[in-house]
Chain A
């Protein structure tokens, strides 16, 4: 081991969540705040997301991803946080000790507290178990954007986009930039997954049709993609769509390797760490923030997680271990998960006083209901819709009346 460093707080991941946590911790008076990122530059996913739509809730401005990433890096550094890049955290050496590989050797970090902010990634083709040939020309949005914006590589000329989440529209923009037309966008849902206005603006951009209730069932092409076979989920009808590029978008998984290898409890719904409203994990002094906890919300929400978790970490550094709450928030129908999954000890709300949920069904003007021990403890009708492929935000006040000793609280739709 080349050396051991002893920061007060070690943050793994220098994306919006980690960088914002670092700045906030410094501003709350924590002396040694260190951010590690495995990339050559910190900033996380926005670094390659060369379009507007960043910074709205946290920086109160609208910027492009790369500029936003640089701003967050600058702000963290100006506040006195140290950032080490090209540092890949590979595992644990103790409860709050981590090991990293860097070009100047292996480093051990013994920290007072740890924040995991490792983000999320899209499920690639194999994880979605799409059979067929294995030709060139199959991407995730993440890879596509790096190919185009970082390497200026050529993609194909005719693409099929799998998914119609927010990120899928980002893929449309990138393909357009690269001069690749869209033959088809598919979604397994009956309705597209984004707000009508985005979808409306997007339709003009898309240029190709959107196939609903449709699944890609096979990829064809020995060397380069030649076509995909799609199936209509209701009629069962199948047909071929000629294309030379396939982009698998959305379908996020948290990058939870470090969390799992520490034995941290995971939420069975999103498979990120199970945290309370303090964003504390089941291991003392280890916290989590950002898309690792809610795959996937926008960058500003991840950043505001960072601000929130900083206060919790400061409390932990001062008071030490707190007892862990027993009230579990459970996703009821039609939700797959709710984050955070536990009500915290301090009875403070979650970041932005919002619970985040993920649904597999759409509904406008939804009425959300919270139940504990058979009784309804909260009910809200919300003006914004529930839609698959996009985080649904619910005011924390829905569960404020939860009894700390009353057992699980289930959140569902009326």
Chain B
């Protein structure tokens, strides 16, 4: 970074710190260039990247030959390799696509072929009996299925946080609560007007998710218009987890991926999402209609699931556009890269998109090369159920009793983990941010027992005497 007076000047500025922007930041900050990541909200990964179904897709059902197909297939491998090295919770549950009608049953062979065209060869068609063996709690009427053993569940919160943490360790500047409001493309540098003052950069990457078309227009393009497509989801109590040993997918239709049942990496079961086009890009409210629709679906997909309490309900907005593919391109003239319309697979595709940006820069003669020394990748706290959590680890508790002090009972989050999150490189700004980093407050009681205690910890650590008490 160079400073011109008060002005900040970078080789690359990335607009938007969702999972995509964070992945790009991580990739580019490994090169010999200065990088800024600019985010309107107070935290990274706080928009669509925090409210999705968190599946690491194989891409078996993408449109063959599309950029999305390539990015998902590549991203699947990259993130699948990266996750264990930094400790992103991931679990290879596999998926089962279930046919409920003769028509859907007839589609299965076509889907298996499509999977092959997408380079995925592990699908297998199974009969109804095998379907019920795989997921005994399914509702009646399943006629057959297609297995997709590679589909996995992953923690989308830790993923974005790991990218951003590594980017920051590699020297990337993180500008939070900074919204880009104007763009001025100069001869050699572009000036971004932001709510935090001007930021200058040679190249700009637009990873603004739902705001991507607005930024695109600031650059003088009119390539796409975003229609926020809301997806509402219901998360069921942990005690239901055995009912969903793997992801249960519907046969995709022209209307999208449809309603699925999925185990979550935190040990719950998720039902959703809905699919509804909106105009308000910030409307992540849930609706009566959405709930009724999902309960109706749930009743036929897995009736016994509805006997469990709902632990959480939320909605995410897909950045859908008039195009069927991702809208990705570079403009050498404006030193600008657009990552638009990253709708339903952006979590999976994130690292591939990071790599792709680097390739696009290279095609425009920006080839800074890898830094000589890179810091060790971060080690993220495990908030998933696939591996032992701190509360069950004697080694951690022996070293620090705060890992044996459970604060959030429902999710078994210890005071040690909350402290670590508050002291981390990118600390949470509010209870929701803490929830995404530790799982505190996301359990079945929703704060009945520990809400006040967690809020108190966020205000500051307890005095040692008080902490030792009890």
Query: Residues of A with Cβ closer than 8 Å to B?
Result: 1-2, 38, 40-41, 85-86, 88, 90, 101-106, 121-127, 129, 131-134, 139-140, 142-143, 146-147, 150-151, 153, 217-218, 222, 253, 257, 260-261
Q: Which of B192-200, B365-373, B402-410 sits within the interface?
A: B402-410
Q: Give the nearest-CB partner of A1 in chain B.
A: B394
Interface mask (B298-310 → A, CB under 8 Å = 1, otherwise 0): 0000000000011
Q: CA–CA, A132 to B310, complex, Å?
A: 15
Complex alpha-carbon distance, A146 and B309, angstroms = 24
Any chain A CB within 8 A of the CB of B290?
yes
* Chain B hits for A129, CB < 8 A: 291, 310, 313
Interface pair A101/B239, CB less than 8 Å apart = no
- When distances are taken between beta carbons in the complex, the residues of chain B under 8 Å from A40 are 469-470
Residues of B within 8 A of A150 (CB): 452-453, 456
Q: Decide if B447 is an interface residue (CB 8 Å cutoff).
A: yes
- B246 is an interface residue with CB less than 8 A from chain A: no
Given contacts A86-B406, A101-B406, A104-B397, 20 further A-B contacts (CB under 8 A): A2-B397, A38-B406, A38-B409, A90-B412, A102-B404, A105-B398, A105-B404, A122-B448, A124-B444, A125-B446, A126-B312, A126-B446, A132-B286, A133-B285, A134-B286, A134-B314, A139-B447, A147-B451, A153-B452, A253-B309
B contact residues, range: 35 or more
B224 adjacent to chain A (CB < 8 Å)? no
Flag if B446 contacts A124 (CB, 8 Å). yes
Known: A86-B405, A101-B412, A105-B394. A143 touches B451 (CB 8 A): yes
In the bound complex, CA of A133 to CA of B456 (Å)? 25
Contact residues of B between 453 and 469, Cβ < 8 Å to A: 453, 455-456, 469
Contact B452 A105 (CB under 8 A): no
Residues from chain A with Cβ under 8 Å of B288 in the complex = 131, 217-218
Q: Which of A86, A88, A127 contacts B470, CB < 8 Å?
A: A86
What does DSSP make chain B's interface, helix, strand, loop or mixed?
A: mixed
Q: How far is the CB of A238 from chain B (nearest CB, A)?
A: 11
Question: Are B392 and A106 in contact (CB-based, < 8 A)?
Answer: yes
| Cα of A142 to Cα of B448 in the assembled complex, Å | 5
A140 to B470, CA, bound (A): 26
| B278 proximal to A (CB < 8 A) | no
- B residues within 8 A CB of A122? 448
Q: Which A residues touch B404, using CB under 8 A? A: 101-106
Query: With A143-B451, A217-B288, A257-B239 in contact, is A105–B397 under 8 Å at CB?
Result: yes
A127 to B398, CA, bound (A): 37
Chain B residue at minimum C-beta to C-beta distance from A131: B286
B282 within 8 A of partner (CB): yes
* B446 cross-chain contacts in A, Cβ below 8 A: 124-127, 140, 143
Bound Cα distance A104, B401 (Å): 6
CB within 8 A of B394: which of A2, A41, A86? A2
Complex: how many Å from CA A170 to CA B301? 41
The closest CB in chain A to the CB of B445 belongs to A121
Q: A126-B313, A260-B239 are in contact. Are A143 and B397 (CB under 8 A)?
A: no
Contacts of B409 in A (CB 8 A): 38, 88
Q: Which residue of B lies closest to A2 (CB)?
A: B394
Specify which chain B residues have a CB less than 8 angstroms from the CB of A2 in the assembled complex.
394, 397-398
A121 cross-chain contacts in B, Cβ below 8 A = 445, 448-449
The answer on a CB contact under 8 Å between B310 and A103 is no
Residue of A nearest to B459 (CB): A151
> In the complex, A187 Cα to B282 Cα: how many Å?
32
Chain A residue with Cβ nearest B404? A103
Q: Answer whether residue B424 sits at the interface, using C-beta atoms and an 8 A cutoff.
A: no
- Within 8 Å of chain A (Cβ to Cβ): is B128? no
Is the CB of B311 closer than 8 A to any CB of chain A?
yes
Within 8 Å of chain A (Cβ to Cβ): is B391?
yes
Q: Answer yes or no: B277 CB below 8 A from chain A CBs.
A: no
Contact of B313 among A38, A131, A142, A143 (CB under 8 A): A131
Name B310's contact: one of A38, A126, A146 (CB within 8 Å).
Answer: A126
Say whether B287 faces chain A, with CB atoms less than 8 Å apart.
yes
Q: Is the CB of B401 within 8 A of A140?
A: no
Q: How far is the CA of A106 from the CA of B444 in the complex (A)?
A: 24
- Cα–Cα, bound, A147→B455 (Å): 9
Q: In the bound complex, how far is the Cα of B404 from the Cα of A123, in angstroms?
A: 27
Closest to A85 in B: B470
A146 touches B453 (CB 8 A): yes
Top 3 nearest A-B pairs (CB, nearest first) are: A146-B452, A124-B446, A40-B470
